[in-house]
Structure 1
Amino acid sequence: MTAMTAPTPSTGAEELRVDGVSVELAGARLVHEVSLAAAAGQVVGLIGPNGSGKSTLLRCVYRVLRPAGGTVRLAGDDLHALTARDTARRVAALTQEHPAEFEFTVAEVVAMGRLPHRRGLAAGPTAGDRERCAAALRRVRADHLAERAFPSLSGGEKQRVLIARALVQEPRLLVLDEPTNHLDIAHQLEVLALAREAGPTVLTALHDLNLAAAHCDRLYVLEAGRIVAAGEPHEVLRPELLAEVFGVRATPVRHPATGALQLLFDRLV
């Protein structure tokens, strides 16, 4: 297998460490003492079947949920001890839930990504803010949508706009929860490449194991809220593990052009 070249860490990227994190909701423990790490500039993927705890763990990382135990640290700082403003300057999240369907234009939605960097809520966008927003929309091929009302967009268009909003936030850590949902195949192939090119450390939950194999430096496999495997994609995406965790027969193949690991799937009978 041709190994993925390790990314050159961005000066803005920071190391993420999740140490012994547990998450409880309504008295039920959904995540059990999970530990993982992402070096500055790495793209790290969480994979696992539905209900395995991927989204719950990510919500803890971007502070929607507070851990029942353990810590989430970015460059050594406990994220849950920072102010909301300080966190927003360092962490951006693309969630599975879209924002409320108010009649904001696309340009206004993207500009929200600059709010943590303004001197105050009353301060308007600077010329630099406007240029960053325009550039982000161009990067996701959505600049032609700038004056459209956000609720009028298709699911895929909304996803691209929200990716642009996350990019203009200029985070040190970018958290992506199923970022390829609603996207056509061309934009699926682009979104994780865009995240890597932007430079932050990336933690992403993915259902598509071939995207995970192609774009992630390291993978963690979650099952019933626990890490059951971790390593580089070729170490983790083994037929026996995929049969046990996902209940499928997987046949590894090599991409004819890149040599990268790809998987063919069949029902396990």
Structure 2
Amino acid sequence: MQLLPVYRKGPVLRDGDVIPESRTAVPVELDRIFDSLHTTSEALGPKGANKDGSLSRLLGVSADNLEGQGENLNQTVEDLSQAVTTLSDGRGDLFGTVQNLQVFTAALAADDQNVRSFNTSLAKVAEQLAGERKDLAAALKHLGAALGDVSEFVKKNKKSLTSNVRGLSKVTKVLVTQRAALEELLEVAPTGLSNLQNAYNASAGTLDTRNNPEAPQDPASLLCSLLKTTGDEGGENPDCAELKKLFDSLPEVPTAPAVTGTVDRTLGGILEVRA
């Protein structure tokens, strides 16, 4: 009796009805099973694989090999069953792993050019290392000897090295404490050294400096600014005009050249300076 698929359309049986033999049929699945068994029996029969007795010998050898191995075979089947059960319980993780592997391989395929370039570069590196393996082996050999010497040196000078490391720690702490001062020094030192170089007069052997304050060039404005910062209301002072007139009546102060001159150390130069 075949129960599937569900019958939904056509004549319907009533209570007491009889199904005639003409309305019955053998399920297709059962026919296929019989056909498969028949085909298998013919393939393994005397006209097939066992034509020369090969299958019989195989079964005989298998029986001899499995004789007395029932317990081991049973244990193998149980272990295989547990393995299959474990895979079944973790099929979600297994499928997730396969899916992630598929995503990874798809990403590699999409970025095939870069992957090929990476493999090419890696092959070149391997080829270069292979070509220089003798030099690399010699370098590693010397490095091993050097590390041995360093180890011996550390053992012999352990106390001194410990003391030096402690001293270095103190110096490092000082440097950290004076970090701001060091930053300022590194920022200002180049300009200061450049100014020192420019101030040195090689021909005279002196450090020449020139004080060029801006205020003395206009003393009236300097005094007016001082008066305005002493509580003058409105930012205006009538005395500024008078000071301007007073300083304008004074003779102009001679200006010195911008370039530093040299010192004449001859007798005439010394006498001229003294005169």
Which TM-score tier does this pair reach, normalised by the shorter chain? under 0.3
User: TM-score if structure 1 supplies the norm length?
Assistant: 0.13
Question: Higher relative contact order by CA 8 Å / sep ≥ 6: 1 or 2?
Answer: 1
- The TM-score with structure 2 as length reference comes to 0.13
Q: Which has the larger radius of gyration?
A: 2
